[in-house]
C-alpha cells in the first residue's frame, strides 16, 4: 500500500506542480507519535524531524526484512505529561527519557 501511495503521489506532483519526485521527501507519522497514519510531502531542503518516518526508508527496511518493525527499537518523542506516554509507563514498557533543555 505504501508503494502505491508513493507512486501515485509522485505522479500527481510531477504532473500538477512540475516538481520531480527526487526534489521531495515523502514521510509519514504513525503510532505512537499520532493515532492515524498520514503522509506528508515536502521539499528535501526542509528539515527531517525525529517524528518523521521516510516512506522510501520504510519500504527499504521492509525489503530487508518483512519483520523489521516488529524487531526494531523505534524512537518517538512525546511531552513528559503526554497521555499516551503515561499509558506506556502503566503497561510497564521500558521508556528512556531525554532531557530537552531547549524549550
Quote the percentage of the chain above a pLDDT of 90: 15
C-beta separation of 43 from 24 below 8 A: yes
Measured in whole angstroms, how far is the alpha carbon of residue 49 from the centre of its chain? 9
pTM summary value: 0.60
* More confident position, 89 or 94: 89
Per residue in 41-89, pLDDT tens? Answer: 888 876 666 667 788 888 999 999 999 988 887 777 677 787 877 887 8
* More confident position, 38 or 51: 38
Catalytic residues: 38
Place 102 in a pLDDT band, splitting at 50, 70 and 90.
Answer: very low
What are the extents of the domains in the chain?
Answer: 2-73
* Full 3-state SS string of the chain: CHHHHHHHHHHHHHHHHCCCHHHEEEEEECCCCCCCCEEEEEECCCCCCCCCEEHHHHHHHHHHCCCHHHHCCCCCCCCCCCHHHHHHHHCCCCCCCCCCCCC
Q: Residue with C-alpha cell 516488529?
A: 70
Pick the CATH number of 2-73 from 1.10.1060.10, 3.30.428.10, 3.40.50.720, 3.20.20.70: 3.30.428.10
* More confident position, 5 or 30: 5
Amino acid at each position: 500500500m505504501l508503494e502505491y501511495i508513493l507512486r501515485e503521489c509522485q505522479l500527481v506532483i510531477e504532473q500538477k506542480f512540475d516538481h520531480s519526485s527526487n526534489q521531495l521527501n515523502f514521510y509519514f507519522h504513525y503510532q505512537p507519535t499520532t493515532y492515524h497514519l498520514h503522509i506528508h510531502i515536502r521539499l528535501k531542503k526542509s528539515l527531517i524531524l525525529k517524528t518523521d518516518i521516510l516512506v522510501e526508508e520504510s519500504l527499504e527496511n521492509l525489503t530487508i526484512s518483512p519483520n523489521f518493525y516488529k524487531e526494531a527499537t523505534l524512537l518517538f518523542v512525546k511531552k513528559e505529561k503526554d497521555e499516551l506516554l503515561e499509558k506506556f509507563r502503566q503497561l510497564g514498557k521500558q521508556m528512556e527519557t531525554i532531557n530537552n533543555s531547549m524549550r
